[in-house]
Amino acid sequence: MVKKGEIRMNKRRLNKVFAEIKEKADMDYAITNTDEYGDCNTCVLDRLADKFGAQSTGIYAKHWMKGMNAGGPWSKREDVYISHDITEEQAEIMIEVLQANGYDVQPKKYDSRLSFLITEI
């Protein structure tokens, strides 16, 4: 249950920030509604490659509203993982934009093997 005064993930705000990241980092996609692409990482990545091409770059929020990995309402999320297929330069831009918009990002440095964890601050 969400208590008054607790910080929770604001999906509308995250949509705007993802759009800014996509534009500034010149990505092919930046998606917060992963349900449109499947209900698991493998499904999402496969469909993104089909839609945007095998060499496409971008990010997506690892949060599903339905299916086997359903995570519940966005309003009850404190944080969300961001999966990515991006370059180190794009990651630096993404981190910069997220931090400028009030998100804590972990890890602070790019590692192609790790997802990023973001929390509104």
* pLDDT for the residue 57: 96
Q: What is the pLDDT of residues 71-101, one digit of tens each?
A: 777 777 888 999 999 999 999 999 999 999 9
β-sheet bridge partners, residue 64: 70
Q: Which of these ranges, 16-20, 67-71, 77-81, has the smallest mean pLDDT?
A: 67-71
Q: What is the pTM of this model?
A: 0.88
What residue segments make up the domains of the chain, in order of their start?
11-112
Other C-beta atoms within 10 Å of 118: how many?
A: 23
β-sheet bridge partners, residue 117: 81, 106
Query: Residues 83, 101: contact at Cβ < 8 Å?
Result: no
More confident residue, 26 or 3: 26
Name the one residue in this structure whose structure tokens are 């790019």.
Answer: 110
Residue 6 has pLDDT above 60, yes or no: no
Cis ω on the peptide bond leading into residue 73 (within 30° of 0)?
no
Name the one residue in this structure whose structure tokens are 């299916």.
Answer: 67
Residue 2 has pLDDT above 70, yes or no: no
